[in-house]
Amino acid sequence: MLCDVSEGQNLRLVFLDIDTQIDFMLPGGKLYLEESRHIFGNLHRLLEYALLNRILILQTADTHTENDPEFETFGFPAHCVAGSAGWKRVPETTLVPDLVITNSDAAWRPPLGQERVVLIEKPSFSIASNPNALGLIESLRPCHFVAFGVATEGCVRKSILSLRSMQFEVSVVIDAVAHGRIKSGEQALEEFTSLGVRPLITDDICSGALLAETRLSGALRR
């Protein structure tokens, strides 16, 4: 488990950790993605960097009921059932959230206070599938989302498409995402580029260059 830091934050850059949960990322998980074994170290580096640099972290959690109709609709086995072992995050991305936005909450209203880590439960693929989170997302403007997690062609893709449709700047950390199907994942990465999503690697982020760039951009806007 990573450390939990409670001081201020930089809202110009927002890290989006998508569904890094046991059912997707550990052997024996209900929808285990074998490729996820390659990204554990980079996931930890990214979140540690965010904590040290007071960058807001949004963590999505695929969250289902035991008899969720989505399982039958898409032919998935039951997975990420709320409160189950598989619903929890892997140790490398386990943080103590300052705020949890559930699927059943009333819509969240800004402003965000001193929260550093926000957990957003979602009933389907996209972060926008939880309408209660939309007020929070809108309140972050202007910002640049840095997205990573699983699966590239599934929840990562749907969340990025939603953010781009809302006109947010988005980067994807290509060595911190895992594909369920290699060809589909590669096609998703190509699609991101065509939509203006910036491909980065973990070293690009941890060098500090993107953070400096977004701070400069924020200063110029002011």
**CATH classification of the domain holding 37:** 3.40.50.850
Chain center to CA of 220 = 27
Domain presence at residue 54: yes
* pLDDT per residue as tens digits for the range 100-151: 999 886 766 666 788 999 999 999 999 999 998 998 999 999 999 999 999 9
Please state the pTM of the whole predicted model: 0.91
Range of the domain at 136: 10-208
* pLDDT per residue as tens digits for the range 199-222: 999 999 999 888 887 766 655 555
Cβ(60)–Cβ(127) below 8 Å: yes
SS (H, E, C) 3-62: CCCCCCCEEEEEEEEECCEHHHHCCCCCCCCHHHHHCHHHHHHHHHHHHHCCEEEEEEEE
Q: 183: Cβ–Cβ under 8 A, 6 or more apart, which residues?
A: none
On the question of pLDDT at 75 being above 90, the answer is: no
Give dist(CA 187, CA 182) in Å, integer: 9
Domain presence at residue 221: no
| Domains held by the chain: number | 1
Q: Average pLDDT in the 58-86 region?
A: 92
Return the H-helix or E-strand segment holding 80.
Answer: none
Domain presence at residue 180: yes
Residue listed under structure tokens 């850059």: 13
Q: 222: Cβ–Cβ under 8 A, 6 or more apart, which residues?
A: none
